[in-house]
Amino acid sequence: MNRSGSKGWLGALPLLAFFALVFGVPAIALVAGAFTADGRPSLANLSQSLQGGYLVAMLGSVKLSAVVALLGAVLGTFLAYAVVTSRLTFLREAVLTASGVLANFGGVPLAFFWIATLGNSGVVSGLVGLPSGSLYTFWGLVVTYLYFSIPLMVLVMAPALDGLRPQWREAAANNGATAWHYWRFVALPVLTPSMLGGVVLLFGSAFSAYATANAMVGTVVPLVTLKIASALTGDVLIGYENIALALSLDMVVVAGLVMAIYLPLQKRSSRWLH
C-alpha cells in the first residue's frame, strides 16, 4: 500500500494550489495595498483607517457585534434550556428545526423581513405607533441580527445542555448542595466553554455581516463593512481603495483575535460533553 501509493499525497496538490492562488494572492494584495500609499511603502493608510469616521465605524461594528453576541447568548441559552428541559417532544423538535433554518437565514431577505414588519410602512410599526425611522438605527440592527443570532446560540447550547447528566445534579444534592451551588460549581463550569464559543461565533457573524446592514440602513449607522464597501465602489475619491484595504486588514485582525479565542475553547468543550 505504502509503496504503491508513495505519490498518493499528490491528490492534495490541486486543492493546495487552488488555495494558494485564489486565497493567497488576494491576501497578499490586501496586505501590500494596505501598506502602500502613493506607490510607496507607508503606514499612512493604516493610521488613517484608525482615525475619524473610520474609527467611529470600526467601534460601531465592534459595539454592535458585542451587544448582539451578549444578548443573543443570554437569550439563546434561556431558550435552549427551556427546550432541553421541556418534556414536550414535539415542541423540542419544532424549536430545534426552526433554529436550524433561522440560523441560516441572513443577508438581504432578513432585512426585508424586518422592513416589512417594523419599517416606515411596516405592518406592525403602524399598530404600535413606532416613530418613523426607528428601525434604521443601531438598536434596529440589534433587533434584526438577533433573529439569526438567538437560533445560532440555541444550536450551540442545546447539545451542551443535553450533556449535563442528571446524576451530577443528584450527586451534588446528595452532598448537600443547593440548586445555586449546583449551577455555580458544576453546571456552569462545564457549560462555560460552549457559551464562550457561542458568544464568539455570534460576534463573528454579526461583525462580518454586510448584506443585511446595507439593505436595511444604508449608511445611516456607521459600520466598518459599509465603509469598506463605499470606499471600494468608488463613490469617493480615487486613492481611497487602499484605505479600504487597510480597514479590511483591521477587520481581519479583529476577526482573527476573536477566532483565536474560539478554537481552543471548542476543543475544551468536547472534554465533558460526549
Residue 148 beta carbon to other proteins: minimum distance, rounded to whole angstroms: 11
Please tell me the number of Cα atoms within 13 Å of 41 on its side-chain side. 2
Among 215, 220, 261, 265, binds other proteins (CB under 8 A): 215
Residue 26 beta carbon to other proteins: minimum distance, rounded to whole angstroms: 3
Q: What does the alpha-carbon distance between residue 251 and residue 228 come to, in Å, rounded to a whole number?
A: 10
- Which residues ranging from 224 to 253 are in contact with other proteins (CB under 8 A)? 225, 228-229, 232-233, 241, 244-245, 248-249, 251-252
Neighbours of 70 (CB within 10 A): 13
Which of the stretches 39-47, 50-58, 102-110, 188-196 binds other proteins when contact is defined by CB under 8 A?
102-110
Maximum distance among all alpha carbons in the chain?
A: 76
Which of the stretches 37-45, 50-58, 86-94, 131-139 binds other proteins when contact is defined by CB under 8 A?
86-94
Q: What does the alpha-carbon distance between residue 46 and residue 272 come to, in Å, rounded to a whole number?
A: 43
Among 138, 147, 183, 272, binds other proteins (CB under 8 A): 147
Residue 68 as a binder of other proteins (CB under 8 A): the answer is no
- Please say whether the beta carbons of 143 and 75 come within 8 A: no
Residue 174 beta carbon to other proteins: minimum distance, rounded to whole angstroms: 9
Residue 139 as a binder of other proteins (CB under 8 A): the answer is no
